[in-house]
Every structure is written in structure tokens, then in C-alpha cells.
Chain A
Amino acid sequence: MLLLLWGAHLRADNYAAAEQSFQAGVKAYGSGDFSGAARDFQESAGKQPAAGTYQNLGNAEWQLGRMGPAILAWERALWLSPGATEARDNLEFARTTGQLEAPELAWYEVVSTWIPSGWWAVLTAFSLWLVADLLALPGIFQRRRTGWQQSLAALGLTLFLLTLPAHYGWHTRSRIGIVLEANTPLRLTPTEQAQEVTRVGAGEPGRCERTLGDYCYIRFRNAAGWLTREEFALVAQ
């Protein structure tokens, strides 16, 4: 209990500090200090990741001409809150302006964007344990299973099975990332002096297929190669 109280206290402190940085960022952005605003929003997001914070961070980065970090921030805002229309519109605006493509999503990944990931986890856990309880508890308490219990169990099982593709979608989407800098060399091998396969632009989406040390093997729509973790940032990280 003491641990829980201590954790809640720390959480409250973090929230207050994040809120303070957020407001400072809003003020800096309003006065045209986009660099300071980006720093404040980044600090706030570090303490308490929030959709609005990332949306504002993307705006500040965009004003600084940093397309890669801006797109990454907006993608993170959508990651936390799939219904954030402002972040979605900003992403569309940025990709239209920069002639960039959005990540290609499979059907189960599209399903996973319907609600936040935490909700999927809660839904899955709830439906699973609902089914388990409805099936096991009557036996434990030596009661007969009634019709409504069995119907509810069937419903829960259906719900559980329906959430599984969304979970797989979240898993695969968590490997999506964004190139941060323009003209980033895509390497043939995970070494500093490696041959360049091609160069990729800031904001290009890719999928990290495997990692080796500080390097990730990234597959883009038309190319694949190695980038460092400083050149490519995962959305869910």
C-alpha cells in the first residue's frame, strides 16, 4: 500500500511538472520561440506522454523546418489517441507538402487504430477473464451453469477472438518508425563505412525488421538497409 501511495505521489509530481512544461511550451510557441517551445513540449512528453503534447511538439518542429521530428511527433500523438483529428490533419498536410507517403497498413493494423492500444489490452483481458470466470466459477461453487452465463461466455469468447488481430496489428505497428533527417544514407551493412544503398528523406516511414547493436534494418517501400537509432526513431518508443 505504501508503495502504491508513493507511486501515486510520484505520478502526481510528474503530471504537475509535465503540465508546467506544457504551458511553458504553449507560451513560447505563442511568442514565436519555436525552439524553446519544442524543448518544453519534449520535456513535457518525456515526463508524461500525451497526445496534445505530441501534437504541439510536431507543430513546433514543423515551424523549425524539421520535417522528420514533426511527423514523428504527430504519429506519436495518433499512437496515443487514434481519434486526434488535428494530428491526423497535420500529418496529411505535412505529407502532401513534403510529397511523402504514409505507412502502408495491413487490415489488422487498420483495425488496431480504431481505439487506443491500452483499450485493446483491457478489452482482451476483460473478455478472457470473463469467459474463464463464467466457465470455471459455477464448477468451483458447485452450481449449475445457467443459460445466460453460457451466452455471456460465448459473447466474451467472441470478443476475445476479435481482439486478437488488433493485438497483432499493434505488435507490427510498433515496429514502424520515421526517418529524422534529410538525405540520410541507407547502408548496405550495419557499419559506419558501409556502402550506401540509397538516401532517404526526412519523414519517410519504414519498418524496423531487426536490430544489430545501434543499427536497425529498415524496410522502406522501395528499398531496405541499415540506419542508426539516431537516424530512425520508432513511433512506439
Chain B
Amino acid sequence: MSGSWLGGRAGSLVRMMVVAGLLGPVGLVGSVRAQSFDKMTGDQLMSLMLSAPRLATDQPVDPAATFDPPVISAGTKAMYRVTLHTLDEAITRWPDTLPAPPPLDMVRGAQGMMFIMGAGKMQPLTVVNYHVTAATPGNYVMPAYTIEIYGRPVTIPEARLQVVAGDPGLPPLRELLLAPEQTNVYVGQSVRLRVLSPAGPNRSVQMLSQVQLNGDGFITGKGDVRQQITMAQLPGGGQSMAFIYDTRLTPFAQGPLKISAQAFTAGNQFGGQIVIQGGVTIPGGAPQFDLLEADPVTLNVQPLPVAGRLPGFQGAVGSFLRDTPQLSATNVTAGTPVKLSVTYRGGLEIAHLSMPPAPDTPAWQGFPTGNPIFAGNSVTFTYTLIPQTDQTAATPEIPFSYFDPDIGQYQDLSIPAMPIKVLPGPAMGTNDCLPMLPADSAPEKVRHLSALATTPGVAASSLVPLQARGWFVLVELGPVLGLLGLWLASRRRQFWEQHPDLRRRREARRALMRERQTLQHAALAGDARAFVSSGIQSLRLACAPHFPAEPRALVCGDVLQVLPPQERDGERGQIVRRLFQAIDALEFADTPARFTGLLELQPQLDQLLTELEARL
């Protein structure tokens, strides 16, 4: 937040009102106060606008650029000042860096605008400052350059600065001086700040207008402004006649607070009340409106201490006193209002004092009466208090405390309890106004802290609800999977029941696969008997589902029937017959069976079994 009362939107609004001629006819807007136009009709507003001076919008911009002073000694400061007869909002382009000759060091300074009266019209005047220093003597020319106003190019003329090695013989640069009352302050503490414009040669003093404080973290009040011309102690030492602009600011942010100031010289044009003491020369003639600046000062703003804060503290910072409170009556009946007035005294900060909250207790109802009455450096608060019962002998205490920055402590300045006699009201007996408990109601439970639990009691792994934990959701998937498994198993069982042939073939394929492994092992081991036995079993397993029949019941002829007709007497048929003959001889013949050469049938048998398996 800016401390400048004409900065930001508010400033724009005031400027717009001035432009519209709604604010005073004088050329200095610094003394103009805002007015309320809420109840004005459109005609009244129009009349007011038409009766006010018009804004000169058709005047030439008339750009000018000067160095103030035009001659300086090396290492000292001059001000490069550009003056334009236009609104500051009209400047649509301004170069970031000016084409200054290299030895000149230029830093952007303040910018301000004011209105001056001329030919019955309000003429805007905008001034832009640059701080200029030069280390080496010489004659420097600030060349002309172009800016844009309302989008049209405007050429700023060249300006000349002479830097000399010795004393230039001219008055130094005119500057404002800032003198805060103190630099170590607390948040909320009201501080006096003095802006001084020392007298020039021949004790010549010019008025200042549109004094503006720049910075963040503080507020100022226009009502606290005092202007005077008198002998003043200058911040840098020494005394001089000076124009003094006193104001008060209140920091609301802690930390270092940087404050600068700017103002226009106004010659002999007075803005507001001013007190002049001592002999000074006030220049006559048309005033020269120059924008002056002050170097910034820094306030160290400390936060209010938390420790020691007292009840009733509402942010009051300063030094206050309290008069004895006054009661309008000391003998009242219950329910009858009585007024309590109390006056606080202090410095200028008394204007910012807030009324302590009215008491509200079971015995007393209170509320503020009217607005606080400010008189000089005092303020009077008035409360209306209504006793709710005759069982009270004093008004309630109203807590109030403030922080005294001088001693760095909170101070209690509460409104004490005032003795008063309260009689029973005409329509009530003693305590009749209080609600009565029914006779049979239970007495109020005695409240106290319970004893410690001796055991931890009901425990959980976490305070997070069970249903919000991830594992619980996973556990809930268990029944889902179980039901799904049961359903799939049921489907499968039903399928096999409806397709028994498929089931036989499937079982035959599995048994054949196992038997062929046995066959393979027997062939590799050279066990001809096991080879024959396993081969026949494999053939039976591969052929049984075609009948269907129990595999062990099949004989050679059954197996041959499964073979294609052309192969029954061919090589495949011979293999089958040889195997069955061998096993028959083993089981039924008297002579020992001969298995020679049967192992050599393994590749053909394997191929036959593969073909039979494919038909399953």
C-alpha cells in the first residue's frame, strides 16, 4: 500500500474529479477534500461540472528539459527535469534509458503531476526527474530524444550541463529534507514525520504543494497535516528558515520501512492553513512549479511483543490516561439502563483509539451509546448498561490495555467496576428473571477431569477407517475371486457332463501322452518286453475312444479297424500284428516269447501313434 494519498486508484479518481472540475477552483489540488455526491441528482452534478473550470486539453505539450542547477562541481548532484503540459497518463512511451553522454550518470527519480490555472482553464503539468552526477568536469549536452504522448511523437529538446572542478558559484540543488520523529518504532505506533524545504538565498521560502510520501507499509492521515514557515533544526545539522510540512504516519508492516517524499514548489500560492513565524521572503510573481525530492529515510519497525499482552488489547499504541468513569445513576432498579462515560487522554494517536467492547455478562447487558466524542487530545466513550438482576453491587469491569512504545510494555487501563445499588424491578421478585429449573430435574452433573485409563483399551492399527485402507479393499476381492472360481468350476463340470465323448478323448490323450513317455524310456533302455507292452497299451489308449470301450478290452482286430482300410494289411497293420503276436506269445504260448527286432519298430510305431493321437 502506498503512503501517497494521490497514488494508485484513489489518486486517479481524485485527478479525474479535478479534471472534471468537481474539485475546487484553485490550481492546487493538495488542499482539496473529497465530497459526497451520493444524494445529488444528475442535473445537480451536471450543473456543478459545468460551473467548474474546464480542463485545457487543446494546449500544446510544450516540452522543456533543464538541468537544475545548470552548473555543478564534479561529483555533486544535479536534477535533470523534463516538464510537459499534459496529463501523466497521456505519456504512452518513455525510453527506458536516456541518451545521456557517457560521463553523466542518470538515475530515474520522481514523477508528479499537478494542475495550474491559466486562462480560466485547468492546465495539467507533468514533471519527470532524473538524478544526475558527473565525475569529470566538462560541458555536457543531453541530446534531444523522442517520447510519445497519446501515441504521437514528441521531441524533448536538448539540455546542457556544465561540470566544473571548483566552486560553481551557484546555489546547490534544491532538495527536500525528511526528518522522522524517531526511527525505531513499533507496528501501529503513530510517528510524526517532517518534510522541510529550507529557505534559499535571501531567506526566500516557497510554498509546497502536493506533498507526497512514497513507500510501502504505512498509512498517513490528511487530518494530521500541519504547515508552517519558521526557524527549524535541519536533519544534517544547523538551523534555517524553512517551509515545514508535518504529518503523521502509522506503519503496519514490520521490518525496515523506506520512505521518500516529493512535492511541487508553488511560489506564493498557499494551500490550506499555514503559520508563519520569523522574517522570510516569499517570492512574488508567477510561481515556478518544480518537482523537488527528498532522499529516503528508513524506519526500523518492530512487531508488538506477544509476551505480556494484557486483556482488552485492541491494537492501541501510544501513551494514554483515563479519567475516573462517571455513572449517570448510582441507585437503579433492575432492567433500568444506566450510562457509563469514560474519557481517555493522550497524544495525537488518541484519534485512532477504538472503543473497548461493551460488557455482556449474566448480570449486565451493555452496548455502546453513540459515537466516541473527540475533543482535542481526548476521547469520551459512553456505554449503556442494563442490570439484569438485583443481585449485583457493581458494574462489570471493561478490560482495556494499550502498548506503551516508550517503555516497551503493555499497560492496563481497564474501566474499573463502579459500585451501584440495584433494586428489584417492579415486575420481578428476587431472581424472578432467571430461568427456574423444574423441581424434578436432575442436579447439574459435576464436571471434572476423569481419572486415567488403566489399560490402553480398544486398539486399532491406525486411526484411518478400515474401509479407507487399501488392504481392506484387496481383502474384499477375495470373496469375489472365490465366487468367480466356483462359477467357472461349475461351468466346466456342466460342459463335461454334456460332452462325454470329448471327455473320453481328452482323458485318452492325457493317458496316451504318459504311456508314450514310458514307451520312449523302454526303447532307450533296450527293454523289448516293456517296449511291446507299452506299445500295445498306447495303441489301445489311442483307439478306445473310437468305439468307445475300455482300452484293456481291445484286441488286435479292434486296433486294426481304427486304421484306414488300405493300411490294415500294409506296414502299419504289420507293426500292430507283430506287437500283438509278441504279447500273445508271452501270455498264452508254451514256448518263451521272442522279442528280437521289435525295438527296431520304434520309429514306425511312434509315427503311427502320432497319427492316431491326431484323430482323437
- How many whole Å from A192's CB to the nearest CB in chain B? 14
- How many whole Å from B460's CB to the nearest CB in chain A? 5
Flag the segment in A53-61, A145-153, A207-215 that touches B.
A53-61
Taken residue by residue from 120 to 154, chain A's Cβ proximity to chain B (1 for < 8 Å, 0 otherwise) reads as: 11101100010011001100111000000000000
The closest CB in chain A to the CB of B465 belongs to A117
Residues in B257-290 with C-beta less than 8 Å from chain A:
none
- A26 CA to B461 CA, complexed, in Å: 21
**With A89-B450, A140-B486, A141-B490 in contact, do A51 and B464 touch (Cβ < 8 Å)?**
no
**With A117-B467, A140-B487, A174-B465 in contact, do A62 and B449 touch (Cβ < 8 Å)?**
yes
- Identify 8 residue pairs between A and B in the complex whose beta-carbon atoms are under 8 Å apart, listed by A's number: A26-B454, A49-B461, A80-B460, A93-B448, A121-B465, A132-B479, A167-B467, A236-B465
- A15 CA to B456 CA, complexed, in Å: 10
Chain A neighbourhood of B427, CB < 8 A: none
Is B553 an interface residue, CB under 8 A from the partner? Answer: no
- A107 CA to B490 CA, complexed, in Å: 45
The closest CB in chain A to the CB of B493 belongs to A142
The closest CB in chain B to the CB of A63 belongs to B449
> Are the CB atoms of B459 and A50 closer together than 8 Å?
yes
- How many whole Å from B459's CB to the nearest CB in chain A? 4
- A53 CA to B479 CA, complexed, in Å: 35
The closest CB in chain B to the CB of A29 belongs to B452
> Are the CB atoms of B458 and A133 closer together than 8 Å?
no
Taken residue by residue from 9 to 35, chain A's Cβ proximity to chain B (1 for < 8 Å, 0 otherwise) reads as: 001000100110010001001100000
Is B447 an interface residue, CB under 8 A from the partner? Answer: yes
Q: Which of B's residues lie within 8 Å of A, judged by CB?
A: 447-468, 472, 476, 479, 483, 486-487, 490
Q: How many residues of A contact B (CB 8 A)?
A: 55
**With A18-B456, A52-B457, A86-B453 in contact, do A121 and B448 touch (Cβ < 8 Å)?**
no
> Are the CB atoms of B468 and A132 closer together than 8 Å?
no
Given A48-B459, A52-B458, 14 additional A-B pairs, CB 8 A: A49-B461, A56-B453, A62-B449, A80-B460, A93-B448, A121-B467, A122-B466, A125-B476, A137-B483, A171-B465, A174-B465, A174-B468, A235-B463, A236-B465
Chain A neighbourhood of B465, CB < 8 A: 117-118, 121, 170-171, 174, 236
**With A93-B447, A237-B464 in contact, do A84 and B454 touch (Cβ < 8 Å)?**
no
- A18 CA to B459 CA, complexed, in Å: 11
- How many whole Å from A59's CB to the nearest CB in chain B? 6
Is A181 an interface residue, CB under 8 A from the partner? Answer: no
Chain A neighbourhood of B463, CB < 8 A: 49, 76, 79-80, 235-237
Chain A neighbourhood of B456, CB < 8 A: 18-19, 22, 44, 48, 50-53
Tell me which of A30, A81, A141 contacts B457 (CB under 8 A): A81
Chain B neighbourhood of A93, CB < 8 A: 447-449
- A30 CA to B451 CA, complexed, in Å: 10
Q: How many A-B contacts are there with CB distance less than 8 Å?
A: 119
Please report whether the interface of chain B is mostly helix, strand, loop or mixed according to DSSP: loop
Chain B neighbourhood of A44, CB < 8 A: 456
- A151 CA to B455 CA, complexed, in Å: 43
Chain B neighbourhood of A184, CB < 8 A: none
Residues in A85-120 with C-beta less than 8 Å from chain B:
86-87, 89-90, 92-93, 96-97, 116-118, 120
The closest CB in chain A to the CB of B457 belongs to A52
- A56 CA to B454 CA, complexed, in Å: 9
**With A62-B449, A93-B447, A121-B467 in contact, do A116 and B458 touch (Cβ < 8 Å)?**
yes
> Are the CB atoms of A51 and B458 closer together than 8 Å?
yes
**With A96-B447, A236-B464 in contact, do A132 and B483 touch (Cβ < 8 Å)?**
yes
Chain B neighbourhood of A170, CB < 8 A: 465, 467
- How many whole Å from A8's CB to the nearest CB in chain B? 12
The closest CB in chain A to the CB of B309 belongs to A183
> Are the CB atoms of A121 and B452 closer together than 8 Å?
no
Chain B neighbourhood of A51, CB < 8 A: 453, 456-459
- A237 CA to B465 CA, complexed, in Å: 9
**With A129-B479, A167-B467 in contact, do A59 and B458 touch (Cβ < 8 Å)?**
no
> Are the CB atoms of A140 and B490 closer together than 8 Å?
yes
> Are the CB atoms of A90 and B462 closer together than 8 Å?
no
Chain A neighbourhood of B467, CB < 8 A: 117, 120-121, 124, 167, 170
> Are the CB atoms of A133 and B464 closer together than 8 Å?
no
The closest CB in chain A to the CB of B253 belongs to A193
Chain B neighbourhood of A53, CB < 8 A: 453, 456-457
- A73 CA to B456 CA, complexed, in Å: 13
- How many whole Å from A231's CB to the nearest CB in chain B? 16
Chain A neighbourhood of B472, CB < 8 A: 121
The closest CB in chain B to the CB of A118 belongs to B466
The closest CB in chain B to the CB of A83 belongs to B458
- A118 CA to B449 CA, complexed, in Å: 28
